[in-house]
Amino acid sequence: MKKYILAVVLVLIPAFLQAAVLPDAPKVAVDFNSYHTYEQLTDILKKLAEAYPELATLESVGKSYQNRDIWVLTINNPDTGPMLTKPAFYMDGNIHGNEVQASEACLYTLWYLLTNYDKMERVTNVVDRAAFYFIPCVNVDGRSYFLEQPNNPSSSRSGQRPVDDDRDGLFDEDGYDDLDGDGSITMMRIKDPAGRMKPDPEDPRMMIMAEPGKPGGWELLGMEGIDNDEDGRINEDPPGGYDLNRNWGYNWMPEYVQFGAGEYPMSHPESRVINEFLLKHPNIIAGTAGHNSGGMILRGPGAKNMGQFSPMDVRVYDYLGKRGEQVIPGYKYLVAYKDLYTTYGDFDSYLHGTFGAYAFTIEHFTDSWEDITGDGEVDDKERLKFDDYLRHGEGFKEWKPYKHPLYGDIEIGGWTKMTQRPTPEFMLAQECHRTAAFIIFHAESMPLLKFRDVKVESVGGGLFRITAAVSNEQVIPTRSAHMVRSNIGRPDFAVISGSNIEVVSGGEVSDKYRGIIEPQYKDPARLRVRALNSQSDVILQWLVRGRGSATLTYNSLKGGLIEKTLDLR
């Protein structure tokens, strides 16, 4: 009998545990401590769209040069309104092929929102009142090439459209060669009595310059490769050879000013189809683009010639960026051209300049943030300590002899592909979550519109005075100062409508204490409001003739749409 009871218990325990775990388990389990191939990324997105059909929609915005789909996953709760009637947040990643953690951070953020909807109050609230557009991977060809082919940490930054880098009439004919077949492109060195380099006495794995006037005994030959086109040079024409983040149509400069710009703005299929998507979604008011490296929250201007942002927009950016430093400890909020370097035709300048959105570039942490000595700089010695103690040496390949077809006896060694720029896999989930925390905060700061102090007063003669205060309770305005100054998009509209009413007059209350109104003589039923600024309100007033039901609507292109029913009697 005891054996029978024990057997029943052993059978029931797994079922009990399953019942206890499954309610909190995600519908789609994803390993965020590893990098996903394009096919795996696609599969996860499809599973999420299938698991959350009430919130998520997956579609292709178009094809890459190599005919891969560029996926966008939209999150919107239709029960709280159509997506284009809400403020929207845009997030993408991996516009540079080797910046692979950006895709994972974007994937995690959308996964986190879907998984925790109806479980976390903050997540539920922001999803209910906003729309989200996620393109986890912009440079799908470059990402695939980086993950699936031998590369060094910085190669495959470009897309995979062939370019004649060395101007010899051939395209992509002399790229890197994985001579030792280990899956990474590392360095080559050769012994040379007159060589300028020498092993570092503190750690002979590192090569440093010899003292002036003293030979080092070694020379570096560059990355692994051979002279594939027999022109006397090595690795001078690898796949691609342009920069998708210099191809956007705001403050674009030609190739002789900005390397990688392309023939003209949006000349690459990836930027072109994403631009078309953005034009179809004018409600985007905030966004980020994911890159690496260094742990930075970058805002524009990307170049000094753009001029400075307006003081009002700077106040909003400063609030978001400085709070971002608290949300993601260790990150620095910086101005791109002033604190980093100049870029023309970059995406966050484009998103702000063309669409008026408050946009950041997120430069993700890598393994180079471990400032072990505390001197404010990270050098290769510190990277080696990080690799030795935390990655157990997997990131640095010891120097090994190799018989090169051109140079003869050389040695191959150095940093492997998944070091320096990609976040180490054991740190990846944390990096993704830190990013998602900032995205949620950024999205919560988008406009939040509410009616308050709505009054309907009979003034005699069948006339009613309607007064309504409309407030924006969040930091981001319904239209940025750049939008207002550059006449981007339409103004906000406050509308009174009804089948049995006539709007006699209407206008904005410019002085509520003295009751002074700035009338709008043309079409007073549809009052134009330039913008609702950060945590501010506007007071509007109409004289209306008629009786019955009327609808008060505040309609903002980027701030959302709210309605209130009025009873005139």
Q: According to the model, what pLDDT value does residue 294 have?
A: 84
Residue ranges of domains in the chain: 48-63+72-144+268-365+428-444, 163-238+368-415, 449-568
| Helix or strand run (H / E) with residue 110 | helix 101-116
Which residue numbers in the chain have pLDDT < 50?
A: 1-23
Its CATH architecture, for the domain 48-63+72-144+268-365+428-444, is 3-Layer(aba) Sandwich (3.40)
Q: According to the model, what pLDDT value does residue 369 have?
A: 56
Q: According to the model, what pLDDT value does residue 380 have?
A: 86
Nearest-5° Cα angle at 256, 250 to 260: 60
Beta pairing partners, 178: none
Please give the single-letter amino acid code of residue 455: K
Its CATH architecture, for the domain 449-568, is Sandwich (2.60)
Please give the single-letter amino acid code of residue 473: E
Q: How many helices (H) and strands (E) does the chain have?
A: 11, 23
| Helix or strand run (H / E) with residue 218 | strand 218-223
Give the HSE-up count for residue 50: Cα atoms under 13 Å, Cβ half-sphere.
Answer: 7
**pTM, whole model, 2 decimals?**
0.93
pLDDT digits (tens, 9 = 90+) for 309-363: 999 999 999 999 999 999 999 899 999 999 999 999 999 999 999 999 999 999 9
Measured CA to CA, the distance from residue 506 to residue 497 in angstroms comes to: 13
Give the pair of three-digit tokens for residue 10.
């052993």
pLDDT digits (tens, 9 = 90+) for 189-238: 999 999 999 999 999 999 999 999 999 999 999 999 999 999 999 999 99
Q: According to the model, what pLDDT value does residue 24 have?
A: 75
pLDDT digits (tens, 9 = 90+) for 494-545: 999 999 999 999 999 999 889 899 999 999 999 999 999 999 999 999 999 9
- Report whether 530 contacts 517 (CB < 8 A): no
